[in-house]
Structure 1
């Protein structure tokens, strides 16, 4: 008959094995299928709000070095793990994004994760004129979409304040932005916001190279994206291999500094499709 000590030892070993297997399965799930992503900034308002939580679909565009997990807080970097496949701009089971997809990708220089919307495909000519997106020398269709209103208060864990089109707004006041509905040439429609006339409202012509994509944020005057080159601190053209996956649906959303503050949950955004 086994002693109590042996039984306890065996039970502990089984527990440890179960935990290890669970972590391995979770790691495999994260690396190959879906990656969790919190929205940290307002660059994609009002499509995505600060505090939205979603899973990025890695199956959408196949796999590259960027598909590997990256957790800077623990020193885990995708290039350190999968750097051996970096640099050739190819993907395993690769499928290119469609115009209008909302995509999480690795910044070509810093390696930080960004989330923006694809507007320019390889070979496209992209230009901003007076705040209007032009693709291949044609202005995209714009329609009035009303006014986006949010409260002037700290948002998310970083506690940043929103920017407003209606000037200086006191704490607790209504922060307003013009909302427009933009329709891309393939028929994809989504809302964009305007705050002010900024330097990225008028640009030169960008010709997207082969194997690269052009991204912009929906909150046009509050987004660091492809309208600014990498040499000037922007995103520039993003290589195909830097794509992580497509954002399809918001799973959970919290307006507060912590997901545990249930009184700040936005239940109307739970399982909301991303358009």
Structure 2
């Protein structure tokens, strides 16, 4: 017996091709929807553009931000849509958390700082030392180093410790710097006092919102910075393929403290 190969008609071949294209489109759309939902609801990547959070975060770090850590607000959504204020399943940040937020004076900008003061706290900086409710945060001087992003600038690494034992390293550029001595700020309900770890190179809650951050509204919070996934040297750029492997290899998979 001779096997006979089926020879589909042109019309059936056309229907098959259309079916495959439609299936491909459905798969792509479903994949994009899942990726968008993951980005909107759970995690979102950001790239660090400035030196204000050195030494923990440096220019070129590609970080992952958890949106469910504090619940969701309009700031958590793309384009900051004009939804009612407040947070859904809101949970309060803790002192010492590193937080990504929309800048109050320009919500199209996302900034990153550390939570220093919670609602009801009294915050003051005196001689470069932070006082929370009149109690100085413990500071331990470490080593004089070159600024990671400015090798011509020397800074002192200082380990700062929260009352619950959490610690992180800050940069101190010396005495008499702007922001080393402030008034007392009383943080109202629904607001947070934010500071950069690069204390003498950070516009934050020590300055009014017209210049820095002011006291940050809770609804402006996007999420909690959790992880440095990878890091590119500042000269790298998406439109320069030859720089894509210009990586800071020692900064892969680093938890944000």
Q: Does 1:102 align with 2:111?
A: no
2:157 matched residue in structure 1: 179
TM-score by length of 1: 0.83
Out of 196, 199, 211, the residue aligned to residue 217 of structure 1 is 196
- Asked if the contact 1:145–1:179 (Cα under 8 Å) also holds between the matched residues in 2, the reply is yes
Residue matched to 1:158:
none
Counterparts of 1:25-44 in structure 2 under 5 Å? Answer: 25-44=34-53
* In 2: Cα distance, 1:221 partner to 1:56 partner: 25
Report how many aligned residue pairs link the two structures.
242
Deviations 1:180-239 (A, max 9, x none): 0111222211111022432211110000001111100000111111110114x1101111
Higher strand share: 2
Q: How does 1:3-42 map to 2 (within 5 A)?
A: 3-42=12-51
Does residue 227 (structure 1) correspond to residue 206 (structure 2)? The answer is: yes
What is the DSSP-based 3-state SS (H/G/I as helix, E as strand, rest coil) of the residue aligned with 1:78?
coil
Residue 240 in 1 paired to residue 240 in 2? Answer: no
SS of the residue corresponding to residue 230 of structure 1 reads coil
Deviations 1:145-187 (Å, cap 9, x if unpaired)?
2123257xxx6xxxxxx3x6xxxx4xxxxx4211101112222
Q: Distance in 1 between matches of 2:154 and 2:233?
A: 17
Which residue, out of 109, 112, 116, partners 2:113? 116
Given candidates 178, 202, 223, the residue that maps to 2:181 is 202
Distance 2:61 2:91 in 1: 26
Asked if structure 1 preserves the Cα contact closer than 8 Å seen for 2:59 and 2:234, the reply is no
SS at match of 1:264: coil
1:262 Cα offset (Å): 5.2
**Structure 1 ranges of 4+ moved more than 6 A:** none
Ranges in structure 1 where 5+ consecutive residues have no aligned partner: 70-76, 156-161, 170-174
Q: Kindly indicate whether the alpha-carbon contact (under 8 Å) linking 1:46 and 1:148 is maintained by their aligned counterparts in 2.
A: no
Higher helix share: 1
Q: Which consecutive residues of structure 2, in runs of 5 or more, have no partner in the other structure? A: 1-7
TM-score (norm 2): 0.88
- Write the distance in 2 (CA, Å) between the matches of 1:241 and 1:263: 37
Root-mean-square deviation (CA, aligned residues, Å) is: 1.7
Kept in 2: contact 1:148–1:178 (CA 8 A): yes
